[in-house]
Amino acid sequence: MHKRFLIIALVVILAAAGLWHLATINSPKQDAVAETGVTVGKKLTPFTLPDLEGKSIALGKPGKVTVINFWATWCPPCRAEMPELDRFYQKYRQTVDFYAVNVQEPPVQVAEFLAKNQYSLPVITDKEGAVARMYRINAIPTTIVVDAHGVIRYRKAGGVTMAELEGVIKELL
């Protein structure tokens, strides 16, 4: 009897997952995401997110080279790259816009992490993960570099070093 219940439950779950997948494939929201500039060579679609104090910050406007890093405090590779990102920000903050986009964590928790580690880079929060989904951030950390014309020139899933970022922006400044 127990085996039969498990088999029925599994069939129901698989059927529901299949219907959900079909619904998302054909949804207008999915089509809009497919048109969003998320790959190298495409224009970055502008977006606005709050900083840790709740002030709205608009990203994606042409004019300056911009580095956007999606991350979370619980993520070991994110934590490992953070000192490099902070040094990069300190060195290039006059010539490059830099934003660390925290994905789905409370601002208080993020602020505590930054203070504890003495990081000063600007952080904005994607509390619902909507922007991360829009930009197809399937792994964190993910870093995107946008040129002064608003075109994505670099995208990397996984940790990034200061030297890597310097190599990318050297071509764009």
- Give the residue among 144, 150, 65, 49 at the shortest CA–CA distance from 102: 49
Tens of pLDDT along 110-128?
999 999 999 999 999 999 9
Tens of pLDDT along 26-51?
333 333 334 445 788 899 889 999 99
Number of domains in the chain: 1
Task: Please check whether residue 144 lies inside any domain of the structure.
Answer: yes
Tens of pLDDT along 47-99?
999 999 999 999 987 899 999 999 999 999 999 999 999 999 999 999 999 99
Task: Name the band, by pLDDT with cuts 50, 70 and 90, for residue 24.
Answer: very low
* Those residues with Cβ within 8 angstroms of residue 94's Cβ, 6 or more apart along the chain or in another chain: none
CATH of the domain at 88: 3.40.30.10
Is the pTM here over 0.85, yes or no?
no
- Give the residue among 45, 49, 94, 70 at the shortest CA–CA distance from 144: 70
Among all chains, which residue has been given the structure tokens 């789905």? 104
pLDDT value for 3: 57
Task: Please check whether residue 49 lies inside any domain of the structure.
Answer: yes
Task: Please check whether residue 29 lies inside any domain of the structure.
Answer: no
Residue 164 has pLDDT above 90, yes or no: yes
The boundaries of the domain holding residue 98 are: 36-171
